[in-house]
Amino acid sequence: MVLAPGYSFPAASTMRKVVKATILIKKKPGLPDADFVTHYNTVHAQLAAPVLLKHNIISYTLTYQLERDRTIMQDIMKGKANLLDYDAICTFVFPDWMSFARFMYDKEGAELRGDHGNFMVESEMKTMIGDEFVVIEGGKKVERSMSI
């Protein structure tokens, strides 16, 4: 099994060589947006942070798509925005697959699942995982040699 991040084909040579997990989250039915964000930011994320740090996490971010955001986007797109039916995106970036795997099998990490029912629908979670290619960072285009 290959645990080093990155791909072996030439066009992937300029990728970050990280393991980035993006998880789509649906909030618990009936939970107001403010309560969802408050619980996720001030309870769940705070419980997760020390466990993630123990496994060399590079970054852990949460992105929300709340009713306000959906309304604004529909206004911008004149009612034709094809939005995902999810309320948040949780993103983990690890330096390698082994760090990610250790987090996934960490006893304390597994205990975090016990909090999911307080704010999310665990059975609706969807995950995408892989490497990342950065095009613009810090407001500037990232320049790379792109030989294929």
| 83 in any annotated domain | yes
Is position 116 within any domain?
Answer: yes
* Within-domain flag for 77: yes
**pLDDT averaged over every residue in the chain:** 93
Structural domain includes residue 30: yes
Report how many domains make up the chain.
Answer: 1
The mean pLDDT value for 4-28 works out to 88
Confidence of residue 11 (pLDDT cuts 50, 70, 90): confident
Q: What is the 3-state secondary structure (H, E, C) of 6-61?
A: CCCCHHHCCCCCCEEEEEEECECCCCCHHHHHHHHHHHHHHHHHHHHHHCCCCEEE
State the DSSP H helix or E strand holding residue 74, giving kind and residue range, or none if neither. helix 67-76
* Domain of residue 105, residue span: 10-141
Q: 139: which DSSP letter?
A: T
Question: Is 40 among the domain residues?
Answer: yes
Arithmetic mean of pLDDT, 40-64: 98
Residue 51 inside a domain? The answer is yes
Find the CATH number of the domain harbouring 41: 3.30.70.100
Per-residue model confidence as pLDDT tens digits over 67-119: 999 999 999 999 999 999 999 999 999 999 999 999 999 999 889 999 999 99
What does each C-alpha distance from 47 to 24, 39, 50, 55 come to in angstroms?
19, 11, 7, 14
State the pairing for strand pair 126-130/19-25. Answer: antiparallel
User: 138: which DSSP letter?
Assistant: T
